[in-house]
Structure 1
């Protein structure tokens, strides 16, 4: 497999990852609806960002001459398994959701940093610039989750 094909395959993984995370975020937004309106609103906004990110990644794949794969990537399967642990209706649902989302955001950050490096290495600066925009959104969401995690833990413990 040549380098360009590797990058396209990795972008397909990122596309599948974004699609899998959209479903998870929708569940987490619903979980937060009555408990924390600020978290609900931010997750809802991130769902829209995630949809846009998927479309950006699709555009990057197509601009490189690739096609979007319909198959779920191993990343998407991993996220599905990770999210399954966090979706039990317990008093600590918000904490588990926050942990899963925080981990997912950092995985996305690492993935996009690698993709940006790959695109730059291949001279695909336009693709790298588009992915950098996604990276910034993921970093912003990770910071938000990091700020909200302590309160989620305290609230869960206060519920007994």
Structure 2
């Protein structure tokens, strides 16, 4: 496998990741109905995630690759299952926030690695598009970090 093929493979992983996370975010937005600010931000990020998947698809194609249908199918199934995992719990908002915060940081690491890989194979145009995605992921991670203490306080208050 050439370096370019390896980057295309990793981009396919990122594409599948975005599809899975979109499913999760849609469910988490519904779970956040009691907090309009959080719900709106999660809905916004779900839309960003849809766009990110399209951007990654374009990056794959611009490098001469094809999107992996099998990776995408598995990712969507995983996203559906994970999005429903915390639904009946009294602390759903905390568990969703933890899962989303972890996912954002995983995405940040993935995109940083992909940007570096694209720079190394001379695909600077792809690296630039991925940098835009990275900035959106970093912004969402900051938002979640700010909101986590409130979710914890609310869950504890409900338990008392």
TM-score, scaled to structure 1: 0.93
User: 1:82: Cα distance to partner?
Assistant: 8.6
The 3-state SS of whatever aligns with 2:71 is coil
- Asked if the contact 1:86–1:96 (Cα under 8 Å) also holds between the matched residues in 2, the reply is no
The answer for the alignment partner of 1:91 in structure 2 is 90
- CA distance 1:137–1:30, change in 2 (3 Å): same
The answer for the alignment partner of 2:16 in structure 1 is 16
User: 1:88: Cα distance to partner?
Assistant: 3.4
- Asked if the contact 1:86–1:93 (Cα under 8 Å) also holds between the matched residues in 2, the reply is no
The unaligned stretches of length 5 or more in structure 1 are none
The answer for the alignment partner of 2:117 in structure 1 is 118
Distance of 1:20 and 1:139 partners within structure 2: 18
User: 1:32: Cα distance to partner?
Assistant: 0.3
- CA distance 1:84–1:42, change in 2 (3 Å): closer
User: 1:76: Cα distance to partner?
Assistant: 3.5
The structure 1 segments of at least 4 consecutive aligned residues displaced by more than 6 Å after TM superposition are: none
Computed over aligned residues only, the root mean square deviation of the Cα atoms, in angstroms, reads 1.9
The answer to whether residue 1 in structure 2 is matched with residue 5 in structure 1 is no
TM-score, scaled to structure 2: 0.93
The unaligned stretches of length 5 or more in structure 2 are none
- CA distance 1:37–1:92, change in 2 (3 Å): same
Q: How do 1:49-64 residues align onto structure 2 when only pairs under 5 Å count?
A: 49-64=48-63
- Asked if the contact 2:31–2:87 (Cα under 8 Å) also holds between the matched residues in 1, the reply is no
Distance of 1:90 and 1:64 partners within structure 2: 44
- CA distance 1:112–1:78, change in 2 (3 Å): farther
